[in-house]
A and B are shown apart, each in its own frame.
Chain A
Amino acid sequence: MSSMRTVIASNGLAIALTVIVILPVTGILAFAISAPLDALMANFGTWLHQVGQWSLPLVDTEERFAKIGFALRSIVIAVGLSFLYFGITNWLNAGLARVRTGSDVGRRAAVVEAIQPWVFVGPALVLLLLFLLIPAVSTVSLSLQNSDGAATLSNYAFLWDRSALGYEQIRYALRNSIMWLVLVPTVCISLGLLIAVLADSTRWGIVAKTLIFVPMAISFVGAAVIWRNIFAGGGIEAQQTINGVTPSYQIGLLKNLLGHSPSYNEPLYAIEFWGNFFLMWILVWVQTGFAMIIFSAALRGVPEDTIEAAKIDGANPIQMFFRIKLPQIFSTVVVVWTTLVILVLKMFDIPYALSSNDDDKLLLATMMENARNNWSVGNDNVENLFASIAVLLMATVVPNMIFNARRIRREQKEMGH
């Protein structure tokens, strides 16, 4: 009889190979076999179209229903495949162990027990390896090569070389990143704390909290569209003066309140330098709800007796907050701060949606997109440049990452695992 180790290894390999073959084949087959469903859906759409006498072109209806059909079957197939995986592996694991160990029940259980955890964590580990770890490492190495694959630092030349591509842009991007990094978390946390304290001491606080929390559900692009109504400039061309009056066609609320300067049509977020702060505000609007909810829970967790003691000592509400409550929830503040910092460093959507081509508003992530789109003209190592900006982005996140990993390790220890 072969040793335990070989049995486990060979069974594991057998399971892995089976899965690697069976899952993709099943997937492709399932998609091929179910393809006629799209036509069926399209027919159904046509029927609805005729019964309901819809006004849009029939082709559009067919296309749309075919797409819904594709959506439905792909959902079923995708979900089916992931269940199939766990079903097959479990069955194979038990079956193979029975075959390999014969009647020795103890050994059989040991083999199954040894393989089972890897079956459960396998898909997660493989996906993380293929889609996060390996790509991250290869991006780093890509950033240290030129387009022929030779080692070089020239992809980072924009950091020091005036003549390098992106020298100006990286300075804007770093300047803006620092401003975002300082302001957005600070404002979010201060406002979040303020709202948490105010809302928890008023009767309609729960309504206030929900309203402030809702922006968390919408996309950054959606938030950009929403705030465009506030920050926009003139709606249409400034009209000529008639009878000494210029009709006001200002459509942005804030710009209307501030007056028409500096220029009629320019939205506030497009103003040189200061426009950055309006973009930041949009992120603050979205994320303050997050800080507020967490602080509100943390403040409720502050032990009653410390508050009682402070009250007896005659502390006023402001002293109570800064001397008693804030120190006790300080670790929560730090956690929220790191979360927001990471979010800000990765920020892309808001500046991309509202000022994608403006060097003055660049952040690292938008600069990457600019690199991909604009620098390719007459430059063949654009991918390496792209990679080098990504690595810079990563470098800014690393301190946070270490901090986070430490915190989680500490938590695990405290929980006794």
Chain B
Amino acid sequence: MLTRSLKHITLALIVFIWVVPFIALLTTSMRSEVASKTSGFWQAYTPTELGHRFGTHDKGGDAFMVLEGNILERLNKDRESYKLSGSITSILFKGRVPDPENPGKTILLRRLVPPGEVMDVRGGEFIFDEAGDFTWTFPEVTAPKPKNLDVFLNQDPVFGADAFVEVLFENKNVTNALISSFIVTIPATIIPITIAAFAAYAFAWMRFPGRDWLFVVVVSLMVVPTQLAFLPVLQGFSGIASWATQLNSWMTDCELDGTCQVASKTFASLWITHTAFGLPLAIYLLRNYIVGLPRELLESARIDGANHLQIFTKLIVPLSVPALASFSIFQFLWVWNDLIVALYIGPADASDLVFPIRLQKQLGTFQDQLHLLNASAVISMIVPVIVFLSMQRYFIRGLLAGSVKGG
């Protein structure tokens, strides 16, 4: 009995550790800027003491002797969302008061004033209660300048989707990154799968000299670090680009407006590089699957006079859907989440950056806007997580085929 509950507790603990970061992510993305940078995400669900600043009244108002108002109303005046509520705990009083030790001189006093205590603000008596109602009384009619006061508020939890709205509609980087990621990922998934499927079919069912050792070479390439290829590949692309630039200046009148330069790091160079890097795994997975298809089926098709292309499109592709699906998920996730290949080979233009690079840059630029950083991260994860969860079965099958014999 003891071991059984120990089992549940251990597993629950591990799951908890795994899930907490996701909770942190979602919570932070739904908080206001101030809340997310001044308190931890775990404090978002309980009333938390946070500091805010409010102005007593608007500039240029009428003269008065007694001003009545509400701190929360003043705080919420310009807020469209994340409206504050809660009880006031104190106001930070900052001001110069006569120094008791050095008559004639003043000292700077910083003190937290609780509700109900009178404090001196611009010569008037300022008093407030927990609900935020304040009265500011002067001995005679005056028109004081508005005073900004720092107030500490035991603030009720408040959430909103503002960060998402801002990131998606006001900051164009994230939308651009989303579009760029789709531009890169979809062809970089479809092209390798097409090429690999044909190659896998040839490796599985066709006879040609050197087939077996070629296959071993192809599969061993699976573990070659892509870093090893970056420099020459990059040089190759810039060679092609300078050649294309010359061709461009020779064939068109681009010299007039100076648009001859052809970029070397483009979406197309990313597609083709991702295709090449994805091929070894694709060929390995698909060949092992296609080899397992019933031989009689193919032979009878050959006897019926079907050529290889017909057999491939009419028989192999429909029968290999599970294997094709598992590889396409791998490749989709790999390309969508890839940082390093895009960094070296992909377009460097700010509007063409893919999501991981954008997110990496935002780790720096959004250091003080954690709600935006987290919202942006959430958006970057929606697509892969949906793909992953909806096709999990195929993903697992692919994993097993890649590492457990007969799995």
Q: Which residues of A contact B (CB under 8 A)?
A: 54-56, 60, 63-64, 67-68, 70-71, 74-75, 78-79, 82-83, 86, 90, 94, 112, 114, 116-118, 120-121, 123-125, 127-128, 130-136, 138-139, 142, 191, 194-195, 198-199, 201-202, 205, 208, 210-222, 224-230, 235-236, 240, 242-243, 247, 249-253, 256, 285, 290, 293-294, 297-298, 301, 317, 332, 335-336, 339, 342, 345-346, 348-349, 352-354, 365, 368-369, 383, 386-387, 390-391, 393-394, 397, 400-401, 404-405, 408-409, 411-412, 414-415, 417
Cβ of A225 and Cβ of B92 under 8 Å apart?
no
Interface string of B266-277 (1 = CB under 8 A from A): 011001110111
Chain A residues closer than 8 Å to B3, beta-carbon distance: 317
> Which chain A residue lies CB-closest to B207?
A117
Evaluate contact between A139 and B232: CB separation under 8 angstroms.
yes
Residue in chain A with minimal CB distance to B405: A411
- Taking a contact as CB atoms closer than 8 A, the residue among A124, A212, A250, A335 that contacts B14 in the complex is A212
Contact, CB under 8 Å: B272 / A225? no
A82 in contact with B195 given A210-B392, A387-B231 (CB within 8 Å): yes
For B176, what are the chain A residues with a Cβ–Cβ distance below 8 Å? Answer: 64, 67
Q: Which residues of A contact B212 (CB under 8 A)?
A: 412, 417
Cross-interface CB contact of A339 among B190, B227, B403, cutoff 8 Å: B403
Which A residues are in CB contact (< 8 Å) with B183?
67, 70-71, 74-75
Is B201 touching A79 in the complex (CB atoms < 8 A)?
Answer: no
Evaluate whether A198 and B7 lie within 8 angstroms (CB atoms) in the complex, with A117-B207, A221-B356, A342-B223 already known. yes
Chain B positions within 8 Å of A352 at CB level = 339, 360
Q: How far is the CA of A125 from the CA of B41 in the complex (A)?
A: 51
Q: Which of A56, A135, A369, A414 contacts B169 (CB 8 A)?
A: A56
CB pair A117 B208 closer than 8 Å: yes
- How far, in angstroms, from A64 to B176 measured CA to CA in the complex? 7
Known contacts A116-B308, A250-B40, A298-B404; A131 and B199 CB within 8 A of each other: no
- Report whether A394 and B224 are in contact in the complex, using a CB–CB cutoff of 8 Å: yes
Task: Mark B1-23 against chain A: 1 for CB-CB distance below 8 A, else 0.
Answer: 00100011011001100111110
- Do A121 and B187 have beta carbons less than 8 Å apart? no
Asked whether B394 is an interface residue with its Cβ less than 8 Å from the other chain, the reply is no
| Inter-chain contacts of B149 with A (CB < 8 A) | none
Please tell me if the beta carbons of A123 and B199 are within 8 angstroms of each other in the complex.
yes
Report Cα–Cα, A111/B10, bound state, in Å: 65
Tell whether, in the assembled complex, residue A131 and residue B273 are in contact, meaning their CB atoms are under 8 Å apart.
Answer: yes
Count contacts on B: residues with CB < 8 A to the other chain. 124
B374 and A225 contacting across the interface, CB-CB below 8 Å: yes
How far, in whole Å, are A352 and B361 apart by their CA atoms in the complex? 11
Asked if residues A401 and B223 are in contact (CB atoms below 8 Å), the reply is yes
Shortest A6–chain B CB gap in Å is: 17
Chain B 27-51: CB-based contact to A (< 8 A → 1; otherwise 0): 0100000001111111000000101
Q: State the 5 A-B residue pairs at the shortest beta-carbon distance, nearest first.
A: A131-B276, A219-B337, A217-B388, A135-B232, A135-B229
Chain B residues within an 8 Å CB radius of A212: 14-15, 18
Contacts of B392 in A (CB 8 A): 210, 213
Q: What would 11 more interface pairs be, CB under 8 Å, given A198-B14, A293-B396?
A: A132-B224, A134-B232, A194-B14, A211-B15, A225-B25, A230-B21, A247-B51, A346-B227, A365-B227, A390-B230, A412-B215
Bound CA span A391–B336, Å: 27
Complexed CA–CA distance, A130 and B199 (Å): 16
**B218 touching A198, Cβ below 8 Å:** no
Q: Kindly state whether residue B175 has any CB partner on chain A within 8 Å.
A: yes
Q: List CB contacts (< 8 Å) of B336-370 with chain A.
A: 336-340, 343, 351, 355-356, 359-360, 362-363, 368, 370
Cα separation A83 to B396 with both chains bound (whole Å): 29
Cβ-closest chain B residue relative to A318: B3
Residues of chain B within 8 A (CB-CB) of A342 are 223
Is B70's CB within 8 Å of the partner chain A? no
Partner of A225, one of B198, B280, B363: B363
- Tell whether B259 is near chain A: CB-to-CB under 8 Å: no
Considering only CB atoms, which chain B residue lies closest to A60 in the complex? B172
The answer for the CA separation of A13 and B244 in the assembled complex, in Å, is: 26
| Residues from chain B with Cβ under 8 Å of A251 in the complex | 36-41, 370
Bound Cα distance from A211 to B392, whole angstroms: 12
Instruction: Name the CB-closest residue of A to B213.
Output: A409
Our pick among A82, A131, A142, A293 for the contact of B191 (Cβ within 8 Å) is A82
Neighbour of A229 across the interface among B21, B191, B233, CB < 8 A = B21
Contacts of B404 in A (CB 8 A): 294, 297-298, 301, 332, 335
- Contact: A253 with B380, CB < 8 Å? no
Given A132-B277, A335-B404; A201-B233 close (CB under 8 Å): no
Contact A404 B291 (CB under 8 A): no
- Which residue of A has the minimal Cβ distance to B232? A135
User: B163 interface residue, CB < 8 Å from A?
Assistant: no
A127 touches B276 (CB 8 A): yes
CB distance from B219 to the nearest CB of A (A): 5
Report the minimum CB–CB distance from A186 to chain B (whole Å): 16
What residues on A are CB-neighbors of B211 within 8 Å? 117
Say yes or no: is B97 at the interface (Cβ < 8 Å to chain A).
Answer: no
Cα distance, A230 to B272, chains bound together (Å): 38
Q: CA of A55 to CA of B407 in the docked complex: distance in angstroms?
A: 53
